[in-house]
Structure 1
Amino acid sequence: MNINDYILKEIKALTSEDSVSSALQLCEHLPITHIPIVKDNKLIGCFAEDDIQTIENKDTALHEYIHLIQHFHADKKSSLLELISLFAENDCNIIPVLDEKQEYLGYYDLRDILDVFADSPFMHNDNITLIVSKTKADFTISQVAQIVESNKAKLLGLYVSRETVDNVEITLKISSEEMNEIIQTFRRYDYNVISQLEDDMFLEELKDRANYFKKYLDM
């Protein structure tokens, strides 16, 4: 899969000399959050549809409102996860793409990128998702991989899904027929296992002991 195959040119980029009304017409016909603005095939930035809607004088040129422009883009070497991060950080559904000369090539559409991510092995339904957390000072990717692989499982991918001042939360995709040993090993290494799995015997044992203790008190 070559992510560059998903670069689109269906929406024509505007220039700073185009009018506000032309930008509004583009937004009316297409469900886009931002419009790329170029000059001599160089990206100036993007106007957000929300900002364009607030401009009262529709006949003025876009360069009159250059202070509203937002600066973000991807390049041809951007990875799938980098693109997803860019979409989230900029709250947008299109991202301009530049080549190695910083010239405008086109844009990525959020729907296409999410479809590619959904079809990737990382998101395959046959794999198991496990979420664990640990203090930042003690977390290492090499240790996570060692824990998984020492239990004869395959680590297909991971990413930091949440971060606080002191802790990180890691989402893992694992290929394994037996998860209980992996979960117990993470606990022995002082990881907090967040995801709830049906085969987590540790939780079942705790429930059984709690029920037994409750019955004992009720006697």
Structure 2
Amino acid sequence: MQTINYILKDIVPFELNVEVLEMKETFEMFPFSHLPVVDDKLFYGAIAHEEVEMMRPDKQKLNEFKHQIQPFYVTENMNWFEVLQNFATHNTNLMPILNSEKEYIGYYELDDFLNLFKCTPFLHEEGVILVVSKNIKDYSFSEISQIVESNNATLFGAFVSMIDADVAHITLKLSLHDINNTLHSFRRYNYEILNEFEKDKYLEELNDRSNYLQKYLNI
């Protein structure tokens, strides 16, 4: 996917000599969490809407608040997933873009990249969502792929959705298939299954054995 096609240039970045009042008025016009700041054409950073709202007095200039400017950005050559990751890391809905000379050339809007993500096989293809967990030092995506493919399924995508202490939670999108054998294979490799399935024969067998043992103990 060519991210360059999503570069927007309709917002003029703030200069360091801009007044607080002008910044507040600009934020009222645009629904963004941050807006870009430049210094003599070179990118300086991004200023948050909530920070601007607390600035006083309105005649003061951004120069006096430089410590509140955040130096995050992406480059024009980054792939769409790296850009999306930066949106999440910096909790913003506007991402400044720089060229190789560190010059500001425009920005990306979060909604455009969320729409790109919706079109990926991970969300678009019909399939099964499986969440597994394992010690962060013991799992590997090559092992996960091998487990999935050995059960005649296709892995559409996988990502680490959470890290809890030393345990990684990995969310997988698989093609439609008989999930029971895949669940059994993951358990053999010491992965824990974190989401439930209506037909999980392994768990059904464990429940049957537990019920049988309970009846035996009650005799």
Structure 1 and Structure 2 fold alike (TM over 0.5): yes
Kept in 1, the 8 Å contact 2:36–2:96? The answer is yes
**Amino acid paired to 2:62:** L
State the distance in 1 between where 2:211 and 2:110 align: 49
Q: Residue 100 in 1 paired to residue 104 in 2? A: no
Q: Which residue of 1 aligns with 2:198?
A: 198
Q: Which residue of 2 aligns with 1:145?
A: 145
Per-residue deviation, 1:207: 3.9
Q: Which residue of 1 aligns with 2:25?
A: 25
Q: Which residue of 1 aligns with 2:15?
A: 15
Per-residue deviation, 1:209: 4.3
Give the RMSD, CA atoms, in angstroms.
1.9
Aligned pairs (5 A) from 1:119-138: 119-138=119-138
Consecutive unaligned residues of structure 2, counting only runs of 5 or more, are none
Per-residue deviation, 1:5: 1.1
Aligned pairs (5 A) from 1:37-186: 37-186=37-186
Normalization by structure 2: what TM-score?
0.91
Normalization by structure 1: what TM-score?
0.91
Paired residues, what number? 219
**Amino acid paired to 2:205:** E
**Amino acid paired to 1:34:** H
State the distance in 1 between where 2:5 and 2:214 align: 61
**Amino acid paired to 1:179:** I
Give secondary structure in 2 for the equivalent of 1:97. strand
Q: 1:77 to 1:211 in 2, by over 3 A?
A: farther
Kept in 2, the 8 Å contact 1:23–1:35? The answer is no
Give secondary structure in 1 for the equivalent of 2:206. helix
Moved more, 31-40 or 209-218: 209-218
Per-residue deviation, 1:137: 2.0
